[in-house]
Amino acid sequence: MKVDVLVLGGGAAGFFSAINCSQLRPDLSVAILERGAEVLEKVRISGGGRCNLTHAVFEPKPLTEYYPRGKRELLGPFHSFMTGDTMQWFENLGVDLKIEDDGRVFPVSNSSQTVIDCFLNQAEQLGITIFKKATVLKIEKQGLLWRVTTKNQSFEARVVIVATGSNPKILQMLGVMGFDIVPQVPSLFTFNITDTRIKDLAGLSTDAVVSLLDLDEKYLDVENSAVGKEGARGPVLVTHWGLSGPGILKLSAWGARSLKNLNYEFKIKINWLPDFSKQQVFDLLNRYRLELAKQNLFKYTPFNLPKRLWQRLMTAAGISETQKWADLTSAEISALSEQLCSGIFRVSGKSTFKEEFVTAGGIDLKEVDFRTYESKKFEGLYLVGEVLNIDAVTGGFNFQNAWTGGFIAARDIAGKLVDVETN
């Protein structure tokens, strides 16, 4: 089968690339190959089934700060297609959007099916052909054309867009073709912790600053970031198996490679009072010893901290349930300050965050011209989405990478294929 544009991968980046190609050049024949039985499966489960499309950060430079890998390379592309462009694109096609308090952008319907229907309807209207259960076995350049072989048939295309996500077989294929591949490691995962301070507190959430340490309690060197020493701030959620929440997920993304090298055996330091230093808390506790002298420590917390967590941290500091503020010793105040601002927790392993599996790794970014998303090695071969060594923290940023790459690749293809025909 011959087509103008062949898209490998029926996910977010693949559909966005294909649809934009057809919108810009309705005369081009476009097809999508998907190895699975269904398309857009990751879109379906994203955001807890609500589909977190993007994030309300509307300047390119601040937006890049959410990408542990790809931060520098995405600055130029974000000047071409940003979060606001994404929102406009979907709203133009009838997907009403809303910005939630934390900045995440969702369909007003609160259903990922709205986004899936939008893509499928557009594909049908634009005449894009979708092949399911089409596992790619070979990609090769033959003269001016590309030949892609699947289990059932072969395709010839003038242009190929690779949007296969973290599919290891495609990465291996590209490696054989001569691409440099950065080994894949998990990103966006939760920390497995067994510790009496958080036992039976599942569901409790509070704002905190969390830092990464090795087993010798030295700060970890973290890729492209200072989050090891300075820590990552955000809501930390206690789970049945340890800790999760945006603050933890952010650390897992920035520390993806370092934590893999440690075989996910490491420590974290938590400041449960992120607006205060340990010295400030020490001074406040001394003040409360006088001001709250007759009150029982366990019945009242003077800090914006969940009461059950406050009680656990006091127990860890050696303070009894019957103790009054007036009876606090300097040693106990010092121990409590330590627990509140510098508590050390041992992490033994990780758990996948829901079903939204994200990897760090993929095609080395030096292989791609980010003005076009075309391979520097092969003319007519484009690489978009998570097949590249780009990943982000949770909050719609990984999708924004897919939309930006898909749009820019489509725009370049639309212009280039005109040039070919004109010449």
The pLDDT assigned to 229 comes to: 76
User: Which pLDDT tens digit goes with each residue over 345-384?
Assistant: 999 999 986 655 689 999 999 999 999 999 999 999 999 9
Predicted pLDDT of residue 422? 46
Asked if pLDDT for residue 423 goes beyond 60, the answer is no
Residue 403 has pLDDT above 50, yes or no: yes
Beta partners for residue 359, in sequence order: 186
- The pLDDT value recorded for residue 355 is 56
Could you read off the pLDDT of 104-113 as tens digits, one per residue? Answer: 999 999 999 9
Residue 391 has pLDDT above 80, yes or no: yes
Average of pLDDT values for 17-33?
98
pTM of the model: 0.92
Give percent of the chain above pLDDT 90.
92
Reported residue count of the chain is 423
Residue 223, pLDDT score: 72
Q: What would the mean pLDDT of 246-254 be, rounded to a whole number?
A: 93
How many CA atoms does the CB half-sphere of 160 hold within 13 Å? 26
Residue 226 is predicted with a pLDDT of 61
Percent of the chain clearing pLDDT 70 (strictly above): 97
Q: Is the pLDDT of residue 8 over 80?
A: yes
**What is the pLDDT, as a whole number, of residue 300?**
87
**pLDDT above 80 for 228:** no
- 149-169 pLDDT, tens digit per residue, is 999 899 999 999 999 999 999
| pLDDT of res. 89 | 98
Residue 421 scores a pLDDT above 60: no
pLDDT on residue 346: 98
Q: What is the pLDDT of residues 186-221, one digit of tens each?
A: 999 999 999 999 999 999 999 999 999 999 999 998
Average pLDDT over residues 65-72: 95
Q: What integer pLDDT is reported at residue 418 of this predicted model?
A: 72
Question: What's the mean per-residue pLDDT of the chain?
Answer: 95
231 vs 227, residue with greater confidence: 231
**pLDDT of 420 strictly over 70:** no
